[in-house]
């Protein structure tokens, strides 16, 4: 989690950009779908799972949608390394800004969290949800199923969270919306890149497609890395436009080429 943000709250829009790239949030098909899905999840006070491989824009889309829809009532956790229900309890305690020391007994801790989550409606976001196992997802269900809590829960994670949830019908049946993030199509890449960063304005579609096929593969995070290298290379080489030498130089920075 970004160390410059208040723990548990949404990061600023600038923090969404990988490598701190000075770029724009683009209304891609995935982002527009995320806005619609999160709106429906909030209205239903339901649970949503945004899933897909790394670099397809899950976290950025969820954060951007929530900044538009529910910035003041969203509380965000980012969990790592096989979190347990205890980790989730303490993460919620910190994210919600509860006073004093955390309770030492689970039954007291759960009572405190349920009372807090019953006083007003909140959106809880669990990022990197692929790290969770069955017991952790069950704990979220425990909070969600309480008759007094007023919450919508959004999981964002890799394909691992889908596999865990689908193995447990009691958990999977609670998910109101499943949203699968996939790579951008070539047409969307060509349309998106110039709006994403000024570097790509005026660059031929064939050049963009060649880079996508060779290195980016419709992955937004890959494109962010490539754009950062392109900007650095243009400064080093004193270039005003992209050429073949620059493209080869960027490829030399990327693994697997």
For residue range 168-218, what is the model confidence (pLDDT) as tens digits? 888 889 999 999 999 999 999 999 999 999 999 999 999 999 999 999 999
The answer to whether residues 246 and 237 touch, using CB atoms and an 8 Å cutoff, is yes
- Rounded distance between C-alpha atoms, residue 242 and residue 246, angstroms: 6
Does residue 246 belong to any structural domain of this protein?
A: yes
Distances (CA, A) of 62 to 31, 74, 245: 8, 11, 37
pLDDT tops 90 at residue 251: yes
The residue segments making up the domain with residue 247 are 186-251
CA 233 from centroid of its chain's CA atoms: 29
Over residues 138-177, the pLDDT tens digits come to: 999 999 999 999 999 999 988 788 888 888 888 889 999 9
**Half-sphere exposure at residue 205, Cβ-oriented, CA atoms within 13 angstroms:** 7
Work out the pLDDT band at 3, boundaries 50, 70, 90. very low
Q: Is 3 within a domain? A: no
Here the tokens at position 25 are: 């949030």
Q: Is the pLDDT of residue 87 over 60?
A: yes
Query: Which residue is listed with tokens 């004193």?
Result: 238
Q: Looking at 156, 181, 206, which one is the last position of a domain?
A: 181
pLDDT of residue 4: 36
Domain boundary among 181, 213, 231: 181
Q: Are residues 96 and 213 in the same domain?
A: no
Domain boundary among 181, 210, 227: 181
Residues 45-51 have a mean pLDDT of: 96
Query: What local confidence, expressed as pLDDT, does residue 255 receive?
Result: 80
Q: Taking residues 231-236, what's their average pLDDT?
A: 95
Provide the domain count of the chain: 2
193 shares a domain with 168: no
Does one domain contain both 101 and 212? no
pLDDT of residue 17: 66
Beta-sheet strands, E only, within 106-220: 122-127, 151-157, 175-181
* Mean pLDDT, all residues of the chain: 91
CATH number at residue 53: 3.40.50.300
Mean pLDDT score, 106-117:
98
**DSSP for residue 178:** E
């Amino acid at each position: 989690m970004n160390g410059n943000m208040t723990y548990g709250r949404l990061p600023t829009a600038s923090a969404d950009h990988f490598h701190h790239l000075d770029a724009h949030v683009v209304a891609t098909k995935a982002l527009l779908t995320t806005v619609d899905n999160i709106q429906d999840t909030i209205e239903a006070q339901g649970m949503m799972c945004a899933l897909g491989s790394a670099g397809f824009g899950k976290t950025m889309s969820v954060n951007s949608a929530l900044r538009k829809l529910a910035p003041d009532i969203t509380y965000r956790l980012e969990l790592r390394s096989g979190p347990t229900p205890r980790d989730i309890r303490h993460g919620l305690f910190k994210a919600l800004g509860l006073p004093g020391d955390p309770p030492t007994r689970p039954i007291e801790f759960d009572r405190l969290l349920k009372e807090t989550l019953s006083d007003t409606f909140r959106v809880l976001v669990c990022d990197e949800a692929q790290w969770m196992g069955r017991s952790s997802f069950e704990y979220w269900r425990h909070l969600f199923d309480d008759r007094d809590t007023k919450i919508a829960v959004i999981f964002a994670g890799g394909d691992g969270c889908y596999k865990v949830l689908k193995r447990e019908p009691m958990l999977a049946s609670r998910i109101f919306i499943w949203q699968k993030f996939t790579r951008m199509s070539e047409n969307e890449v060509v349309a998106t890149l110039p709006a994403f960063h000024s570097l790509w304005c005026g660059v031929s579609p064939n050049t963009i497609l060649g880079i996508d096929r060779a290195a980016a593969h419709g992955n937004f995070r890959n494109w962010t890395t490539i754009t950062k290298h392109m900007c650095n290379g243009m400064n080093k080489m004193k270039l005003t436009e992209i050429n073949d030498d620059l493209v080869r130089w960027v490829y030399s920075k990327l693994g697997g080429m």
